[in-house]
C-alpha cells in the first residue's frame, strides 16, 4: 500500500513530460497562427497598395466601379480561405488538448484502480463492500465521461460539417457571380 519515492518521481516525470508536450503543441499552433496572420496581413497590404496604384489610373466613374468590384471578390475569397485555415488550426489544437485530457484521465483512472486493488489486499475484513462501491462509482464516472466525450465529438463533427458546407456554398456563389460578371 506504500508508495515509494521512485514511483513518485516516475509519476512526476511522466506528468512533466506530458505537460511539456502539450505546451510544445500549443506553441506550434500559435506559431502557425502567427505565420497565417502575418501572411494575411502582408497580402492585404500588398492588395491595398496595388488597388491604390490602380486608382491613380482611373479615368471615369464606371472604371472606378469596375475596379472596386474586381477587388471585392478576391478579397472575399481570401477571407474565406483565411477563416478556413484558422478553423483548421483551432480544430487541430482542440484535438490535441482532447488527446491530452483523455490520456491524463486514463492515467488517473489506472492509478486509482491500482491503489484500490492494493488497498483491498491489505484492507480489514468486510471492507470489500466499500472497495466494490468505490470501483462501481469510478466505473459510472468513466461511463459518463465517455458519453460526454462522444457527444462532444459528435457536436464537433456537426459544427465542422456545417462550417465546410457554409464555406463551400459561399465559394460556389462567388464562382457563379464571377462567371455571371
Q: Which pLDDT tens digits describe the chain residue by residue (181 residues)? A: 566 788 788 888 888 998 999 999 999 999 999 999 999 999 999 999 999 999 999 999 999 988 888 888 888 889 989 998 998 999 899 888 888 888 888 888 887 777 777 777 777 777 777 777 877 887 888 788 778 778 877 887 787 788 778 777 777 776 676 666 5
Contact 49, 112 (CB under 8 A): no
SS3 125: coil
Query: b/e map of 53-80 (b: 16 or more CB within 10 Å)?
Result: eeeeeeeeeeeeeeeeeebeeeeeeeeb
Return d(Cα 8, Cα 176) in angstroms, integer: 64
What span, in angstroms and rounded, lies between the C-alpha atoms of 86 and 74?
18
Q: Where are the domains of the chain?
A: 5-180
End-to-end Cα, the chain, rounded Å: 78
Give the Cα separation of 88 and 5 in Å (integer).
43
Residue 40 has a pLDDT of 95
Grid coordinates belonging to 94: 482542440
Q: Give me the pLDDT at residue 24, please.
A: 94
Alpha-carbon span 15 to 21, nearest angstrom: 10
Amino acid at each position: 500500500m506504500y508508495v515509494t519515492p521512485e514511483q513518485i518521481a516516475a509519476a512526476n516525470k511522466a506528468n512533466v513530460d506530458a505537460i511539456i508536450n502539450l505546451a510544445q503543441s500549443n506553441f506550434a499552433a500559435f506559431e502557425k497562427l502567427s505565420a497565417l496572420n502575418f501572411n494575411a496581413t502582408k497580402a492585404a497590404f500588398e492588395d491595398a497598395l496595388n488597388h491604390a496604384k490602380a486608382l491613380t489610373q482611373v479615368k471615369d466613374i464606371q472604371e472606378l466601379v469596375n475596379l472596386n468590384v474586381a477587388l471585392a471578390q478576391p478579397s472575399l475569397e481570401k477571407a474565406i480561405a483565411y477563416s478556413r485555415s484558422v478553423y483548421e488550426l483551432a480544430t487541430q489544437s482542440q484535438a490535441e488538448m482532447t488527446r491530452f485530457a483523455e490520456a491524463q484521465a486514463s492515467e488517473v483512472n489506472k492509478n486509482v484502480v491500482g491503489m484500490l486493488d492494493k488497498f483491498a489486499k491489505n484492507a480489514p475484513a468486510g471492507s470489500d463492500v466499500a472497495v466494490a462501491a468505490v470501483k462501481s462509482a469510478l466505473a459510472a464516472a468513466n461511463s459518463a465521461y465517455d458519453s460526454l466525450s462522444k457527444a462532444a465529438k459528435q457536436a464537433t463533427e456537426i459544427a465542422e460539417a456545417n462550417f465546410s458546407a457554409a464555406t463551400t456554398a459561399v465559394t460556389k456563389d462567388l464562382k457563379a457571380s464571377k462567371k455571371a460578371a
